[in-house]
Amino acid sequence: MATTEISSRSNITVKSSRRVDARQVEAVAAVIEDRGRTAEWHPFVSRVSTPRTQVNSQAVHPVQDFEGLFAGVPVTGVSEVAAWERGREYAFLNRERSTGLTAETRFLIDAGSEDSASVTATVTVDLPQEAVALLDRDELTRVLGEGIEEALDRVTSLSGSSGAER
């Protein structure tokens, strides 16, 4: 189940984790690292466009355009790599084009023990003060929580990690 942190009226963070078989860590990381597959696991993204870049140790496809639906509303934007530590941490700063709203999506992979590992996904949204009064914070938190749960389910499923535990 997703947990929620509200550090101010305009900042919402939702986090959830899954336990996976330690042998699946590389496969989970591979799903996240394949930026062209984002639409397969991200519940709010239906299409991505990644400029051709060479894969190197510093960054993989650092900028990606996206289209999708958020709470039934069409969205388009740009996703930029904010952190990329292979097999351990990935963060993406996502900015919606028409509103300028931003959300950071972060995955942390903890190799844990020989038998199990954990994958934690976090989304943080910073709302402009003007938007705070217009939005239903509880509904936004619910939608983000459901989205983070679905993203984790899809990432672990696509990696072949059957039986991932919440």
Q: What is the pLDDT of residues 104-145, one digit of tens each?
A: 999 999 987 788 899 999 999 988 777 777 788 888 889 999
Phi/psi of residue 80, nearest 5 degrees? -120, 140
CATH architecture of the domain 3-33+79-158 equals 2-Layer Sandwich (3.30)
SS3 111: coil
Q: What is the pLDDT of residue 5?
A: 63
Stated length of the chain: 166
pLDDT mean values, one per 10 residues, the chain (166 residues): 67 92 92 92 92 51 88 92 94 92 94 87 87 80 93 93 58
How many Å apart are CA 91 and CA 107, to the nearest integer?
6
b/e 58-83 (16+ beta carbons within 10 angstroms → b): eebbbebebbbebeeeebebebebee
What torsion, rounded to 10 degrees, do the Cα atoms 83, 89, 90, 91 define? -60
How many Å apart are CA 17 and CA 150, to the nearest integer?
11
CA-closest candidate to residue 147, choices 64, 44, 17, 54: 44
CA-closest candidate to residue 86, choices 121, 60, 51: 60
Phi/psi of residue 74, nearest 5 degrees? -65, 135
Q: Residue 136 has what DSSP assignment?
A: -
Angle between helices 137-158 and 25-33 (to 10 degrees): 120
